[in-house]
């Protein structure tokens, strides 16, 4: 039996154009369905068309418009969702022909982000992205207003155009104001970043397709290494549960700390206005010394998701020289499909069940602390301050006391090794 709630959900008819036999087309439609569900709507039908080129005024071919009209009636749809981004003119033309609300992929993703934003910065970023997106689309919203031919000055325009012009100015002012407030927040963020850089603790960024388990992995680290319940992050089975960045200092082995950061997830064709508005949140990834690319191995489309993430990293300008570990997550659901031999810098784990966390830490350690030098130092009693510095900053493997002082076996940074070379035995 259908739940009452389901009946109240808006019914969406999906429309997709397969341009020049795109091999990613069916994947894109599947993804759009998930985005529609994430926006709390039901999918009641899918209409597709194969085209060589788009039909500029409507995006879809003119003949297909009638099919969509029939589809709307048959499925009793409340809204039509297009799989691509529509130009303002296309949106207006289609609304006129179909007489129904229309959302394109970008509008849909923006709507999901709006409903998820919790922190002040995320809210401001989403609002900015929405305004940037709606500005060129204003004409469509006011098309029903009367127009007169007129010169370009406001006073000579017809009432419809005047209204659009006033709205446009209002939105432009609001965009200016939002950017200013976001710049202020970015300054605070940059100061925090500077402090982090100065601390010399390597930054490890969790990245990946939305819902891959990044936040769950962050929590697994907090659980395993910090035992600090209230510092956990929000994890949830929904697209875009996380919209901001959280950083935690984790000691993955004695005196080897990392700054682990969890941030917003990706989806294919992430709208440009969002990438622009979320610039400062996404910039956190650019500063990383190591990227953990988290992949939901239990999803049959995981290879597609992998590509989406790799492409998005390129798009936001992440340096290709940053090392990446591929973390195949949710392996607890795939125990019969685990490879016998893992590739280099690849690991199969379960963030939820906490399987493979220690092994992942070892991989991280091998990359970030590989230049640590293993040695023995004999520290005389009178140099207790050096012993306490090394206790705090090096990985001490063994400590023995003898007549000359303390003999330690340790792994330390090359800088510390050269500084304290005289103690090496």
Ligand X SMILES: Nc1nc2c(ncn2[C@@H]2O[C@H](COP(=O)(O)OP(=O)(O)OP(=O)(O)O)[C@@H](O)[C@H]2O)c(=O)[nH]1
Q: Which residues of the chain form contacts with ligand X (CB under 6 A)?
A: 208, 210-216, 235-237, 239-242, 265, 329-330, 332-333, 350-352
* Structural Rg of the chain based on CA atoms: 27
Strands (E), 218-267: 246-253, 256-262
210 binds, among ligand X, Mg ion, none (CB under 5 to 8 A by kind): ligand X
CA angle 370, 375, 376 (to 5 degrees): 155
Please answer whether residues 266 and 294 qualify as being in contact, where contact means their C-beta atoms are separated by less than 8 angstroms: no
Please answer whether residues 138 and 110 qualify as being in contact, where contact means their C-beta atoms are separated by less than 8 angstroms: no
Residue 293 C-beta: closest distance to Mg ion, Å? 14
Please answer whether residues 312 and 270 qualify as being in contact, where contact means their C-beta atoms are separated by less than 8 angstroms: yes
Residue 347 C-beta: closest distance to Mg ion, Å? 19
Please answer whether residues 203 and 288 qualify as being in contact, where contact means their C-beta atoms are separated by less than 8 angstroms: yes
Closer to ligand X by CB, 106 or 211: give it: 211
Closer to ligand X by CB, 233 or 252: give it: 233
Closer to ligand X by CB, 237 or 402: give it: 237
Please answer whether residues 308 and 275 qualify as being in contact, where contact means their C-beta atoms are separated by less than 8 angstroms: no
Residue 280 C-beta: closest distance to Mg ion, Å? 18
139 binds, among Mg ion, ligand X, none (CB under 5 to 8 A by kind): none
First to last CA, the chain: 77
240 binds, among Mg ion, ligand X, none (CB under 5 to 8 A by kind): ligand X
93 binds, among Mg ion, ligand X, none (CB under 5 to 8 A by kind): none
**Could you give the residue ranges of the DSSP H alpha helices within 76-142?**
88-98, 105-116, 120-134, 138-141
Residues lying near Mg ion in the complex (CB under 5 A): 214-215, 241-242
CB atoms within 10 A of CB 400: 10
Closer to ligand X by CB, 114 or 162: give it: 114
Closer to ligand X by CB, 25 or 234: give it: 234
Closer to ligand X by CB, 228 or 236: give it: 236
**Could you give the residue ranges of the DSSP H alpha helices within 142-247?**
159-198, 214-225
Residue 33 C-beta: closest distance to ligand X, Å? 17
Residue 14 C-beta: closest distance to ligand X, Å? 22
Residue 417 C-beta: closest distance to ligand X, Å? 38
Please answer whether residues 271 and 215 qualify as being in contact, where contact means their C-beta atoms are separated by less than 8 angstroms: no
Closer to ligand X by CB, 105 or 330: give it: 330
185 binds, among Mg ion, ligand X, none (CB under 5 to 8 A by kind): none
350 binds, among ligand X, Mg ion, none (CB under 5 to 8 A by kind): ligand X
332 binds, among Mg ion, ligand X, none (CB under 5 to 8 A by kind): ligand X
Residue 25 C-beta: closest distance to ligand X, Å? 24
What are the tokens at 413?
């940074």
Please answer whether residues 295 and 350 qualify as being in contact, where contact means their C-beta atoms are separated by less than 8 angstroms: no
């Amino acid at each position: 039996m259908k739940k009452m709630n389901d009946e109240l959900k808006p019914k969406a008819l999906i429309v997709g154009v397969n341009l020049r036999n795109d091999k990613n087309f069916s994947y894109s439609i599947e993804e759009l369905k998930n985005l529609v569900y994430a926006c709390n709507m039901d999918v009641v039908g899918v209409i597709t068309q194969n085209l060589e080129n788009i039909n500029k005024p409507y995006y879809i071919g003119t003949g297909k418009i009638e099919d969509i009209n029939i589809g709307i009636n048959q499925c009793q749809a409340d809204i039509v969702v297009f799989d691509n981004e529509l130009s303002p003119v296309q949106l207006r033309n289609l609304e006129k022909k179909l007489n129904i609300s229309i959302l394109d992929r970008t509008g849909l993703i923006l709507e999901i982000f709006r409903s998820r934003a919790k922190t002040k910065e995320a809210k401001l970023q989403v609002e900015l992205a929405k305004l940037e997106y709606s500005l060129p689309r204003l004409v469509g919203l006011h098309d029903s207003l009367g127009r007169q031919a007129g010169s370009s000055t406001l006073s000579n325009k017809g009432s419809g155009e005047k209204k659009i012009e006033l709205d446009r100015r209002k939105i432009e002012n609001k965009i200016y104001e939002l950017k200013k407030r976001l710049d202020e927040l970015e300054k605070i963020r940059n100061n925090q970043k500077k402090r982090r850089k100065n601390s010399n603790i390597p930054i490890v960024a969790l990245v990946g397709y939305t819902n891959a388990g990044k936040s769950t992995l962050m929590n697994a680290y907090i659980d395993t290494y910090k035992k600090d319940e209230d510092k956990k992050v929000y994890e949830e089975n929904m697209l875009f549960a996380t919209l901001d960045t959280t950083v935690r200092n984790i000691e993955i082995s004695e005196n080897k700390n990392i700054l682990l950061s969890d941030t917003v997830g990706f989806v294919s064709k992430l709208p440009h206005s969002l990438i622009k508005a979320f610039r400062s949140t996404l910039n956190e990834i650019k500063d990383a010394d190591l990227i953990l690319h988290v992949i939901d191995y239990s999803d049959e489309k995981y290879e597609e998701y992998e590509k989406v993430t790799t492409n998005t990293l390129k798009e936001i300008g992440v340096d290709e020289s940053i090392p990446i570990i591929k973390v195949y997550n949710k392996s607890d659901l795939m125990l019969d499909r685990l490879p016998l031999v893992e590739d280099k810098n690849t690991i199969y784990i379960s963030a939820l069940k906490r399987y493979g966390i220690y092994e992942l830490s070892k991989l991280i350690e091998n990359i970030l602390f590989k230049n640590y030098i293993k040695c023995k130092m004999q520290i005389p009693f009178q140099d207790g301050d050096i012993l306490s510095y090394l206790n705090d900053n090096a990985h001490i493997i063994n400590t023995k006391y003898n007549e000359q002082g303390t003999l330690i076996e340790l792994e330390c940074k090359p800088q510390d090794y050269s500084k304290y070379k005289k103690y090496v035995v």
